[in-house]
Amino acid sequence: MRPILLITGASAGIGAACAKLAAPDYDLALNYRSDKAGAEAVAREAETKGARTLICQGDVAVPDDVARIFAEVDHHFKRLDALINNAGIVDAVATVADMDHARLKRMFDVNVIGAMMVAQAAAARMTRQGSGSIVNMGSIAARLGSANEFVDYAASKAAIDAFTKGLANEIAATGVRVNAIRPGLIDTEIHAKAGVPDRAQKLSKNIPMQRVGSAEEVAKATLFLLSDAASYITGTTLDVSGGR
């Protein structure tokens, strides 16, 4: 029986890359918030690689949406074996002085509270069945701080580091593992959403490997942590950052 993997934020970028890489080995529940066409395209490609797919619309910052996503997974697949907790947002480049309450609230509602609610729901199912693997999507911004750019985003991802360690230790004895990936400068659309589409390329000179990473490289590390090859790894954050 193929394991069931839920990926939040699966319509583009790292989430889509994870889905495409996982498709030969997993059946997939693909969550999206607004890009239905993107999610459908990912599902079609995954199906050509052998995956059964379910597309689940929902905003992870909305509790009723999270409940509905998991109800759909329960109904369609009857179980959940793995979660890539990937949905997240970034805002326009700004200093802390220019960040208003609405921006900060939305950042933490999605990147922290939403991620925690998704992991909480997944962990409840996995602990009952006595097995499972969760990978939360963090960022090396958590340790760099992202001054004069995205301090709010960096702070939200630092919360993911702490949450990953805490949840991992709480449920380790149940057979469920929890880890996190911290991508560095990755060539995805997130930079354009922040209003600086060429940001990754401009900053590549600051990376020891002298290049930006790809979503596929992040996906490979993520799938490793999900897999049995990482069976004795929990509570760990893995940087995928070219040495940065």
**Quick one: fold of 4-239?**
Rossmann fold (3.40.50)
Residues 6+ apart with CB under 8 A from 93: 148, 149, 150, 194, 195, 196
**Sole residue written with tokens 């940065």:** 244
Which tens digit of pLDDT belongs to each residue from 72-131? 999 999 999 999 999 999 999 999 999 999 999 999 999 999 999 999 999 999 999 999
Helix 63-77 and helix 115-129, axial crossing angle in degrees, nearest 10: 30
Which tens digit of pLDDT belongs to each residue from 9-19? 999 999 999 99
Identify which of 167, 3, 13, 173 has the alpha carbon closest to the alpha carbon of residue 73.
3
What gap in Å lies between CA 148 and CA 95, rounded to an integer?
Answer: 5
Identify which of 39, 44, 47, 50 has the alpha carbon closest to the alpha carbon of residue 7.
39
Identify which of 121, 99, 143 has the alpha carbon closest to the alpha carbon of residue 244.
143
Least confident of 43-57, 158-172, 203-217: 203-217
| Annotated catalytic residue, options 26, 32, 153, 232 | 153
Exposure string over 179-209, b if 16+ CB within 10 A, otherwise e: bbbbbbbbbbebbeebeeeebbeebbeebee
Active site residue 153: yes
Which tens digit of pLDDT belongs to each residue from 20-61? 999 999 999 999 999 999 999 999 999 999 999 999 999 999
What gap in Å lies between CA 46 and CA 24, rounded to an integer?
Answer: 8
Residue 195 reports pLDDT greater than 70: no
**Does the CA dihedral 190-195-198-201 come out positive or negative?**
negative
